[in-house]
A and B are shown apart, each in its own frame.
Chain A
Amino acid sequence: MAGLELLSDQGYRLDGRRAAELRKVQARMGVFAQADGSAYIEQGNTRALAVVYGPHEVRGSRSKTLHDRAVINCQYSMATFSTAERKRRPHGDRKSSEMSLHLKQTFEAAVLTQLYPRSQIDIYVKILQSDGGNYSACVNAATLALVDAGIPMRDYVCACTAGFVEDTPLADLCHAEESGGGTTLALALLPRSENIALVQMDARLHQDHLDALMEAAMMACKGLSKVLDSVVRQHLQEVSVLTRE
């Protein structure tokens, strides 16, 4: 589409990756002292920052309180300088509020909310630079932030996108691949049980290819979960060394 060759005959993509290859992932936990948990993640050129407060007493109207589990409050925003065109409204438009809603639903499925009745957990996520896969970067960052805050979850929540070009599923799309108008599948997975916390797909795809596409996205999520796990372990090591001295 638009004359861009998304997959060359040799099997390379625009940025020189193979079809099932992920972008480089770098992450750090505990970037802010003020928050209960925080994390920063880079997936290729997509950068996201997540901050978690809570569990704390329900703020605002008391009617939101749930007697048997915690309320999860998510806010997604994009920095005004995150895209090529300067964004007018960092949050509050339809797309952002939908994204906030999706993040909320994802984490309602993954966090053991029934351990904290009548309380609230706030997750704030900000995209600093957007280069495709905003949702997945947000989910991964928020997972690390929740781990940092010490909030129990069923498993890591790993999210990744996948596309479909010339009968080949591509993992972890960048902005150029996403904006071409091809199929995009975003998937949030709990890797150990292979449970899908959220699935979202756009644009046309024949039914017969759905299986292959989802399989590719799940493989990518599992790859990501290893990276996230190593980040957490490294962070713990660093922290334990610091506290011992």
Chain B
Amino acid sequence: MRETPLSNCERLFLLKAIEEKKRLDGRQAYDYRNIKITFGTDYGCCTVCLGKTRVLAQVSCELVPPKDSRPTEGIMFFNLELSSMASPGFQPSRKQSSELLVTLNRQLERCLRNSKCIDTESLCVVSGEKVWQIRVDVHVLNHDGNLMDAASIAAISALCHFRRPDVAIQGRDITVFSPEERDPVPLSIYHMPICVSFAFFQQGTYLLVDPCEKEELVMDGLLVIAMNKHREICSVQSSGGIMLLKDQVIRCSKIASVKVSEITELINKALENDRQVRKEGGKFGFAESIPKERITALKREQAPVEMKDIEETADEIVREAEAPSEAVHSPVIVATGTGQVGEGLQNTWGLEEEDAEEEFQGGMDGKEKKKGTVCVCVCVCVGCAGFTHETIVQLV
């Protein structure tokens, strides 16, 4: 199925709102949606909810021969999948989604592999023969914009959470211990790069952090900056055919550094929580997180909406609005039988219904009568706007 295009009114409305520094979900321009990080029962499984966007990352490992060019380094493999479950627009054959797929995959690779956040040399078992291949599979479960940030948070949290089996080498024998025999070992992670997306509107005049799906549809361009909490930039990527200025990029990097330190803290807290619960033997993983969200689609989330000046604005609108024009007292009456709908003209539909109503009223008691009248009023209102006033009076 093709993605539903945004109508012109929706587009204009969104752009107007952005111009007025307002967002649909009541956020400020530089706010993130709520981030929720949960871990699965297995090591290396992590779900991230960024507002309604949901992403699942699973890390797995296996022993493989290394690449010829790097015999002492382990291999990192990243794979991001867009299933049609996440959005009807995602289909393997669609060109649009395959472009998105390539961008997301490459950005994830650049963010996590090229920044050397994981010590690949520690993944070597026997030089030139056996190394660990760490595979990170990221699945998009629900698409509500900003997949990149959610995917990068999920991937790095899953990598931090992951434990690989311990190995021992005796002579030429390699023994892989099961988790019962020896405690699995965590990966050594130097730093945690996290992507922050910036959406640009109106040729770069307006800037929003963490765009939701609707905002992504109207944006002109996107800038993704990956950073770690030491304020090191791990990758920058602009896309969408937009003109940027150097100052804008630098401003974005400053915003990104603040956001990244917040998110890193959140990930660390989630990891610490998970560790604590596991140690105590309490409920953890999906067993803990899923039952609470049994009805996920109908769950209503409270969005903080700015309400300060609502009443004043409403009063102002009422005050400024012109008094409603008086209903036409002597409407043009045309010959019966010509159906005309329009302001100031006789509506024959209403008259017919009125007749029908009278017949109908005969067999009803008082209460039902009232209900019937209201029903007609509504019909008439829809039928002819200019004639409403009088008709209603007549009926009541």
- Using a CB–CB cutoff of 8 Å, the interface residues on chain A facing chain B are 94-95, 97-98, 101-102, 104-109, 181, 185, 190, 193-208, 210-211, 214-215, 218
Residues in A whose Cβ lies below 8 Å from that of B189: none
Q: Kindly supply a per-residue 1/0 record for chain B positions 242-268, scoring 1 wherever the CB is within 8 Å of any chain A CB and 0 otherwise.
A: 111110011001100100000000000
Query: Which of A102, A206, A207 has the most chain B CB atoms inside 10 A of its CB?
Result: A207
Not counting A196-B249, A200-B237, A202-B114, a sample of 11 additional A-B residue pairs whose C-beta atoms are within 8 angstroms of each other reads A98-B102, A98-B106, A195-B244, A197-B243, A200-B238, A203-B234, A204-B232, A210-B233, A210-B253, A211-B250, A215-B246
Residues in A whose Cβ lies below 8 Å from that of B105: 94
Residues in A whose Cβ lies below 8 Å from that of B228: 204
Q: Do residues B116 and A210 form an inter-chain contact, with CB atoms below 8 A?
A: no
Which B residue's beta carbon lies closest to that of A185? B236
**Contact of B240 with A by CB under 8 A:** yes
Q: Can you offer 16 A-B residue contacts whose CB atoms are under 8 A?
A: A98-B103, A98-B106, A101-B102, A105-B240, A106-B241, A190-B243, A195-B245, A196-B243, A196-B245, A199-B236, A199-B238, A204-B228, A207-B253, A208-B231, A210-B249, A215-B246
Q: From residue B247, how far is it (CB to closest CB) to chain A in Å?
A: 9
Q: Do residues A204 and B242 form an inter-chain contact, with CB atoms below 8 A?
A: no
| Known contacts A97-B102, A202-B235, A210-B253; A105/B115 CB under 8 A | no
| Known contacts A97-B102, A203-B114; A105/B241 CB under 8 A | yes
CA distance A190 to B244 in the complex (A): 10
Which A residue's beta carbon lies closest to that of B230? A206
B-side interface mostly: mixed
Residues in A whose Cβ lies below 8 Å from that of B99: 101
Which A residue's beta carbon lies closest to that of B106? A98
**Contact of B239 with A by CB under 8 A:** yes
**Contact of B227 with A by CB under 8 A:** yes
CA distance A101 to B233 in the complex (A): 23
Q: Do residues A194 and B115 form an inter-chain contact, with CB atoms below 8 A?
A: no
Which B residue's beta carbon lies closest to that of A109? B241
Q: From residue B116, how far is it (CB to closest CB) to chain A in Å?
A: 7
Residues in A whose Cβ lies below 8 Å from that of B239: 101-102, 105, 198
Which A residue's beta carbon lies closest to that of B69? A85
Query: Which of A98, A101, A218 has the most chain B CB atoms inside 10 A of its CB?
Result: A98
Q: Kindly supply a per-residue 1/0 record for chain B positions 212-226, scoring 1 wherever the CB is within 8 Å of any chain A CB and 0 otherwise.
A: 000000000001000
Q: Do residues A218 and B110 form an inter-chain contact, with CB atoms below 8 A?
A: no
Residues in B whose Cβ lies below 8 Å from that of A201: 233, 235-237
CA distance A203 to B227 in the complex (A): 10
Residues in A whose Cβ lies below 8 Å from that of B227: 207
Which A residue's beta carbon lies closest to that of B227? A207
Q: Do residues A196 and B232 form an inter-chain contact, with CB atoms below 8 A?
A: no
Which B residue's beta carbon lies closest to that of A193? B243
Q: From residue A89, how far is it (CB to closest CB) to chain B in Å?
A: 15
Q: Do residues A109 and B234 form an inter-chain contact, with CB atoms below 8 A?
A: no
CA distance A129 to B223 in the complex (A): 30
Q: Do residues A207 and B231 form an inter-chain contact, with CB atoms below 8 A?
A: yes
Residues in A whose Cβ lies below 8 Å from that of B231: 206-208
Which A residue's beta carbon lies closest to that of B231? A207
Which B residue's beta carbon lies closest to that of A106? B241
Q: From residue A5, how far is it (CB to closest CB) to chain B in Å?
A: 20
Query: Which of B232, B233, B249 has the most chain A CB atoms inside 10 A of its CB?
Result: B233
Q: Do residues A95 and B246 form an inter-chain contact, with CB atoms below 8 A?
A: no
CA distance A36 to B239 in the complex (A): 27
Q: Do residues B103 and A194 form an inter-chain contact, with CB atoms below 8 A?
A: no
Residues in A whose Cβ lies below 8 Å from that of B246: 194, 196, 211, 214-215, 218
CA distance A173 to B241 in the complex (A): 25
Residues in B whose Cβ lies below 8 Å from that of A94: 102, 105-106
Quick one: which of A181, A198, A203, A215 contacts B238, CB cutoff 8 A?
A198
Residues in A whose Cβ lies below 8 Å from that of B236: 185, 199-201
Q: From residue A225, how far is it (CB to closest CB) to chain B in Å?
A: 16
Quick one: which of B106, B230, B249 contacts A199, CB cutoff 8 A?
B249
Q: Do residues B244 and A199 form an inter-chain contact, with CB atoms below 8 A?
A: yes
| Known contacts A196-B244, A198-B238, A199-B244; A210/B102 CB under 8 A | no
Residues in A whose Cβ lies below 8 Å from that of B230: 206
Residues in A whose Cβ lies below 8 Å from that of B237: 199-201
Q: From residue B311, how far is it (CB to closest CB) to chain A in Å?
A: 42
Residues in A whose Cβ lies below 8 Å from that of B114: 202-203
Residues in B whose Cβ lies below 8 Å from that of A207: 227, 231-233, 253-254, 257
Q: From residue A84, how far is it (CB to closest CB) to chain B in Å?
A: 11
